[in-house]
Structure 1
Amino acid sequence: MSSTIYVEAQMLIRKPVKDVFEAFINPEITTKFWFTKSTGKLEEGKTVTWEWEMYGVKSEVKVNRIVPDQMIKTVWGEPKSNVDYEFKEMEKGTLVVIKSYGFTRTGEDLLKTVNDNTGGFTTVLDGCKAYLEHGIQLNLIGDKFPLK
């Protein structure tokens, strides 16, 4: 049975919504702050594979819905969960909210998943902000677990 718990991470990125949205669907940009390889651009109804080469990890990402410059709805992870990316144009830039939900784990396993998702998506947003606002590749994902 799926849990009603969800994880949310958010960040204001001081760039136009069109640029921020493109950073999440276009792997040529996303690889600058998140995963290292992708089999393609996110498109509604398609499944792509994201890879984190430094960890030897891959994940199939199914794109359920895209509303340009507003929302991306995906299912991915192991075990799979829903991950939605929302983009809201604001006076000073774009608010990005990442919501993860539909977890099937319980107890300590659920707590670990919630912790991992919260930290992971916060790190992604931090890296995206640094890259889009300042052109800096912080290598946050690669440095998060240096002993792996």
Structure 2
Amino acid sequence: MKTENNKFAKAEMLIRKPVSEVFEAFVNPQITSKFWFTKGSGKLEENQKTEWTWEMYGFSLTVQTLVLQENKKIVIEWGNPDEITLVEWVFSPLNENETFVSIINSGFHGDSDKIIDQVRNSTEGFTLVLAGAKAYLEHNLQLNLVLDRFPKGLA
């Protein structure tokens, strides 16, 4: 995926686990639900649709997996039908027990203020997802970062 402008969100983090474990954590909803969404309809598969649910917010969305290169890359489309964006994960093994994960969300549409808001929200969200994944995979801790991003009464 090549971004043609600066209208994208980016979050990156080192996770001290083998690339196969980190990749599986983002493909398998039984693991992903420990740090991001609460339920997934199945594992990500190339050219297939999957539903992800955030039960705490009463929200679900369908993602379309465009690219699934084992232990290397995931690319999905997601969002409201009139606001579909791309999300790309790149998994770079640094050694047998360390993986650098880069997430880029691109394809935002709208006026400048709307795009800035989307980029900010996406950057915040994916940073929390990576921090939650790191805590879960490295230390078996569920930090509830996504749940606590919008506490009841403040959302």
TM-score by length of 1: 0.95
Match for residue 80 of structure 1?
Answer: 84
Over residues 28-68 of structure 1, what are the superposed CA-to-partner deviations in whole Å (9 max), with x where a residue is unaligned?
A: 00000000011110000100010101111111100001110
Q: Aligned pairs, how many?
A: 147
Q: Extract unaligned runs of 5+ from structure 1.
A: none
Alignment of 1:10-21 (within 5 A): 10-21=12-23
Tell me which residue corresponds to 1:89: 93
SS in 2 for 1:137: coil
Contact 1:88 1:94 in 2 (8 A): yes
CA distance in 2, matches of 1:4, 1:13: 26
Question: Partner residue of 2:149?
Answer: 144
The offset of 1:86, in angstroms, is 0.5
TM-score (norm 2): 0.91
Instruction: Tell me the equivalent position of 1:113.
Output: 118
Q: Please state how far the C-alpha of 1:142 moved relative to its aligned partner.
A: 0.5
Contact residue 17 and residue 87 of structure 1 kept, 8 A: yes
Structure 2: state its 5+ residue gaps.
none
Supply the AA of the counterpart residue of 1:143.
Answer: D
Q: How does 1:1-148 map to 2 (within 5 A)?
A: 5-78=7-80, 79-91=83-95, 93-147=98-152, 148=155
Q: RMSD between aligned alpha carbons?
A: 1.3
Quote how far apart the aligned CAs of 1:105 are. 2.0
Alignment identity in percent? 45
Deviation at 1:6, TM superposition (A): 1.4
Cα drift, residue 27 of structure 1: 0.3
Runs of 4+, deviation exceeding 4 Å: none
- The farther-off stretch of 84-93 and 19-28 is 84-93
